[in-house]
Amino acid sequence: MLDDDQLALMQQALERRLATLAGLDDQRRDATATVELDQTRTGRLSRMDALQAQAMARATEARSQQEIRRIQAALQRMAKGDYGICPRCEEPVALERLRADPATVLCINCAAAAETR
């Protein structure tokens, strides 16, 4: 089980990452804007590059939204007092694992078992 200082450090790390992701929102919005298909202004290869960049930006946005949801869920677990406890086996999640990914849910054994399914 985490002590109060460790829990506070994890919360700070999660909140910093959430703020970083929120700060990138404007940049992502510009990158996912509709690509203009005006052939008189843009060559075919340039449009293809723009469409590829747009697709990559959308994929990045989807990953960012998924990470935001994971962070928000971790903060909710903290508020409920469930943070750092594996919901499958109800054993503590190792501090090293939480330091590597403060939004992680499962202990290493349950995560490994879930990957092999």
Provide the residue ranges of all domains of the chain, joining segments of one domain with +. 4-82
Are the C-beta atoms of 75 and 91 separated by less than 8 Å?
no
| Predicted confidence (pLDDT) per residue in 67-113, tens digit | 999 999 999 999 999 999 999 999 999 999 999 999 999 999 999 99
Find out whether 75 and 14 touch, Cβ atoms under 8 Å: yes
The phi, psi pair for 4, rounded to 5°, reads: -60, -40
Q: Coil, helix or strand for 38? A: coil
DSSP for 16-32? Answer: HHHHHHHHTHHHHHHHT
pLDDT in tens, 37-78: 555 555 666 778 878 888 898 898 999 999 999 999 999 999
